[in-house]
Chain A
Amino acid sequence: MGSIAFVRWILGWVDFQIRPRRKGACERFLNLCARQGVALWRIGRSEEFFTAAIAVGRYEELRPIARKAGVRLKSGKRHGLPFLWKRISSRKGILAGMVVFAVTLHIFSMYVWSVQVTGNTSIPSDQILTEAKNLGLSPGALKSRLEYQELQRRLMIAFPDVSWLSVNTQGCMIEIALEERIKHPEAENQEKISNLKASASGQIIKLEVTGGALQVKVGDAVVKGQLLVSGIAEDATGGTRMMRSSGKVIAETEKSLVAEIPMKQTVQRPTGKQIVRRSVRIFGLELPLSLTGRPQGEYQKESQRVTLKGKTGDLPISLYTETWSEQTNEEITLTEAQAEEQARAKIEELKQQEWKDVKILSSNLSGKMEGDVYRMTLYCQCEENIALESEILFKP
């Protein structure tokens, strides 16, 4: 039914009134039309007249039938493409708009709108996008110039940790789908001959040695650099056997950390003066929106890029905002409490950096002023693995 309506709309049709001159004339008119093969539809009637619709090209055929049936015809509203076209063609603006729209749509669909990376876990998306950009794949690139197979090959070469990569097109969006390689664990080099030495002084509390000849026992006190496990062992016959030493030697050690905070410091403070620079990127083309240049002097820069998002993903339009805040150097003198707070923070930072695998059993934190410096010291009783592998090298 929809297809019939569509064909009628394409050909154009007209509503008309059938006014009878005598009783029964309208019915006669309908029968004559039917007999002569003139198809009518939307046949309705009111008190005075009948209404119907006919294809616009056949309206003229109704005149002799109307005369014969004794009715008068009055054409009404016209529908369909021919009449719509007539209305539109007289309005050049709409016509031009339609053409511009069609051309714009065609041109814009020729370019890449957005590039997305999926499937990566350890390789940052930015790194992949930068490499893709270097190979010519970026928002604004002409789709017809892209060689997808070549792109895939080159991206695979650029990222050896990728086991599989595919460049897929979804309309104007390009998806770089990849799978990262699962790294094999490194095989242990058994040919290496090594000792285990103490990395710190302390008392041994636990031994978990899997290779080598043990030189110490639980409860022994050892000093830094002392041999704990030897890679050269003598057998019962007096022969020498060389091997790789491995394992853990857990010892109770004493460790300390020192943080020094100068009481007089130079800090940067914002003056409140800010310069904002904006630019818009359309299809990879950066257009500045501000005429302000890069400011000279002490400024701190903060930047943000906002990419417009559509239903299918990122659009090739983004707004970049740079905020430059003027800074001034100011000399300040800390109070003891402020210095202590800074020192505590620094000690925590050092603990995170240097004592990753160390278990602290007990600690003692003390701080004092020493001239213009606040010194904080942390003494700890720790439990840690002090076994440090030291290779035995042989000269051929």
Chain B
Amino acid sequence: MKKKQVNVPSLPPPSLLSGFRMEISGNREAVLEGCGGVLEYSEEAIRVRAGKMSVRFTGRNLKIKCLTADSLVVEGYLTGLEFIT
């Protein structure tokens, strides 16, 4: 008796950024969902908590356009993005 093969959709491996979602529009805006808070805020760098990691945006004239319980919008000229464990 032949075994019937079933195609199971492949899931991405679990990441350290669980529940965190980020959408970047060019180099001018980033929308972050599921972030845990602001750790650092200046015109040159913004660091936010994202699950077990933190995400650091660097650039010029950076601003937090909007801040709610689990999301924020970073605006400005983004020049760098770092994931720090």
Contacts and interface: CB of A to CB of B under 8 A. Distances in A.
A43 to B, nearest CB: 4
A43 B63 contact: yes
Contacts of B68: 34, 37, 39
Contacts of B39: 27
Interface string A16-35: 00000000001100110111
B64 interface: yes
Contacts of A68: none
A31 B66 contact: no
Given A26-B41, A45-B42, A34 B64 contact: no
Summarize B's interface: helix, strand, loop or mixed.
strand
B42 A31 contact: no
Given A26-B41, A31-B38, A37 B65 contact: no
Interface residues of A, number: 17
A24 to B, nearest CB: 8
Contacts of A45: 41-43
Contact of B69 (A26, A34, A41, A42): A34
B41 A40 contact: no
Nearest to A51: B63
Contact of B38 (A27, A42, A44): A27
Interface in A28-72: 30-31, 33-37, 39-45, 50
B20 to A, nearest CB: 15
Interface in B31-85: 37-43, 63-70, 72
Contacts of A41: 65-67
A35 B69 contact: yes
Interface string B5-48: 00000000000000000000000000000000111111100000
A26 to B, nearest CB: 7
Nearest to A44: B63
A30 B69 contact: no
B43 A39 contact: no
A45 B70 CA distance: 21
Interface of B: 37-43, 63-70, 72
